């Protein structure tokens, strides 16, 4: 009996770890939203799932309502940032 309880706890812990680390951000935000509607603390869930709390409710704390990105707010940099991955071929 105790072995089954311990195995169940380990499986639940592994599932929570998988959900908090490897799920896409959109799914994590939906999970936080659904669990917060069920009565769980939204701030703690957002911290656990590595998302920002109250995203999408219009409070502008998550930055989803902003029309201009923060990187283009500088007047000197009007072009978007380009990231180049340098590859070194070994033959």
Encode pLDDT of 20-78 as tens digits: 888 888 888 888 888 889 888 888 888 888 887 554 554 545 555 555 555 445 555 56
**Within a domain: residue 90?**
no
**Within a domain: residue 9?**
yes
**Within a domain: residue 44?**
yes
**Within a domain: residue 88?**
no
Confidence of residue 12 (pLDDT cuts 50, 70, 90): very high
Query: What tokens does 47 get?
Result: 């911290």
DSSP string, 5-62: HHHHHHHHHHHHHHHHHTS-HHHHHHHHHHHHHTT--HHHHHHHTT--TTTTSSSSSS
**Within a domain: residue 86?**
no
Q: How many CB atoms lie within 10 A of CB 42?
A: 17
CA-closest candidate to residue 56, choices 23, 24, 30, 20:
30
Domain hosting 47: range is 2-57
**Within a domain: residue 20?**
yes
- For the chain, how many structural domains are there in total? 1
**Within a domain: residue 11?**
yes
């Amino acid at each position: 009996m105790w072995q089954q309880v311990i195995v169940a706890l380990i499986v639940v812990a592994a599932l929570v770890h998988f959900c908090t680390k490897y799920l896409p951000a959109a799914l994590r935000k939906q999970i936080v939203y659904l669990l917060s509607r069920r009565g769980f603390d939204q701030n703690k869930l957002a911290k656990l799932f590595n998302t920002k709390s109250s995203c999408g409710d219009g409070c502008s704390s998550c930055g989803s309502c902003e029309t201009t990105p923060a990187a283009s707010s500088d007047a000197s940099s009007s072009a978007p940032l380009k990231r180049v991955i340098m590859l070194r071929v070994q033959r």
